[in-house]
Amino acid sequence: MSVANGRFMYFAFGSNLLKERLQLANPSAIFCTTGRLKDYELNFGLWEKHVDNSWHGGVATIKSCPGAEVWGVIWTLSNENLQSLDNQEGVSLGRYSPLEVSVETENGLMLCRSYQINNFHACPPSPQYKQVVCLGAEQNGLPGDYLKRLKAIQTNNYTGPSILDQIQTVK
């Protein structure tokens, strides 16, 4: 993970694609660029078989998969937000593990922090979670084909309140 000027690089591929979501707990996040993580695929699931979470469904993770690719956003964050980002991802609870990934960008490879679910159990995302992921992909100009794939993801049809209610997106 590259740490310079008191900041670190973070590769987001799920709900943290959306600036307003990421900045709920990490106000120092600044857009750097978009990029592609090769030989990984995007999955949705949980760290236990049956769990109530604030998204009411599966959340994004990445899994090694030769030939696949995951598009996302590279954010730079203040080192002071490393703990809040880890907390958001449930690292101390064992939900996600941080990992270092090499992301292809138009400026070459960038070494970034990212996260992967532990003890993965496949589970579809809620429509609200999927909406935040798609809004973030649109907001940051991820490739159209990739956005189409995101929009085609099946959800669990949950209709109650979620974190989406806390996110004020400006259209």
pLDDT tens-digit map of 87-139: 999 999 999 999 999 999 999 999 999 999 999 999 999 999 999 999 999 99
Tally of structural domains, the chain: 1
Report yes or no on 19 lying in a domain: yes
117: domain CATH number is 3.10.490.10
What domain range includes position 29? 3-163
The DSSP call for residue 124 is P
Q: Is residue 169 part of a domain?
A: no
Amino acid identity of residue 135, one-letter, is L
Catalytic residue among 41, 80, 89, 138: 89
In the annotation, is 89 catalytic? yes
pTM of the complete model: 0.92
Identify whether 171 is part of a domain: no
* Cα–Cα distance, 171 to 168 (Å, whole number): 9
